[in-house]
Amino acid sequence: MHKQIIITAAMSLCILLSIGTQAKSDDNTGLATISVTKLDITNKTLELSYEIRNKSKQDIWICETISICSFEAYLAEDDKTLMVRRRLNVPLLCFPVGLPFGRYIRLRADERRIESLWLPLPVNLRNVFSASGVTQEMVYPEQLILEIGYYVEDLPMMVHSLLEDAEKTNGGNDAHDLALMMENIKGPLYFNELNEGMTNRDDQVLIPYMHQGLKGEKVVRTTVDNLHIPYIGKPQLPNLKPPDLSRCTRIEINYEPSMLEYFFPYPGEQDLFSVAEVKYLNSIKTITVGDQTRIKEFTGEIGKGLPGGITTEQSTAHLVCYHDGERLTSFTVYDDRAIVTENEQLFSYTRGLRKDLRSTRALTPQIHPFDLRVRCVSNLKNLWHRLRLYNKAEKMRLKDSSQIKPVYPKWTKWCDVMTRAYKSIGMLEENIVRIYECPSAGEGKCHYAMNPSCNPDSPPDMVLLFETKAGWNQHGGRELFTFDNHDPKGGCVLLNDGTVKFIRTKEELWQLRWK
Q: Where are the beta strands (DSSP E) in 91-165?
A: 101-107, 112-120, 123-124, 143-152
DSSP string, 344-408: S-EEE-EETTEES-THHHHT-GGGHHHHHHHHHHHHHHHHHHHHHHHHHHHHHHTT--------P
CA 21 from chain centre, in angstroms, equals 29
Q: How far apart are CA 291 and CA 363, in angstroms?
A: 8
d(CA 515, CA 513): 6
Give dist(CA 214, CA 388) in Å, integer: 23
**Residue 15: is its pLDDT beyond 60?**
no
The answer to whether the CB of 82 falls within 8 A of the CB of 72 is no
What digits encode the pLDDT tens for the residues 172-196? Answer: 445 555 555 555 566 888 899 999 9
What is the tens place of the pLDDT at every residue in 451-472?
999 999 999 999 999 999 999 9
Q: Which parts of 13-135 fold into alpha helices (H)?
A: none
User: What is the model's pTM?
Assistant: 0.89
Overall average pLDDT of the 106-131 stretch:
95
How many CB atoms within 10 Å of residue 134? 13
Helix (H) or strand (E) holding 328: strand 326-334
For range 307-311, the mean pLDDT: 93
The percentage of residues in the chain with a pLDDT greater than 70, rounded to a whole number, is 88
Q: What is the pLDDT of residue 358?
A: 72
Confidence of residue 211 (pLDDT cuts 50, 70, 90): confident
Query: How many whole angstroms from its chain centre is CA 295?
Result: 25
Please say if the pLDDT value at position 141 is more than 70: yes
* pLDDT category of residue 201 using cuts at 50, 70 and 90: very high
Find the range with the poorest average confidence among 21-25, 82-86, 91-95.
Answer: 21-25
Model confidence band, residue 162 (pLDDT cutoffs 50, 70, 90): confident
DSSP character string of 472-511: SS-B-SGGG--STTSSSS-EEEEETTS-EEEE-SHHHHHH
* 19: confidence class by pLDDT, cuts 50, 70, 90: very low
* pLDDT confidence of residue 355: 57
What are the phi and psi torsion angles at 243 (to 5°)?
Answer: -60, 140
Q: What is the pLDDT of residue 82?
A: 98
Q: Categorize the per-residue pLDDT at 95 as very low, low, confident or very high, splitting at 50, 70 and 90.
A: confident
The answer to whether 479 and 466 have CB atoms below 8 angstroms apart is no
CA distance 272 to 456: 25
Burial 62-74 (b: 16+ CB within 10 A, else e): bbbbbbbbbbbbb
User: Over the range 273-285, which residues count as b (16 or more CB within 10 Å of their CB) and which as e?
Assistant: beeebbebbeeee
Q: Residue 353: pLDDT above 50?
A: no
In which band, very low, low, confident or very high, does the pLDDT at 170 lie, cut at 50, 70 and 90? low
At residue 13, the pLDDT reads 34
Predicted local confidence at residue 442, as pLDDT: 86
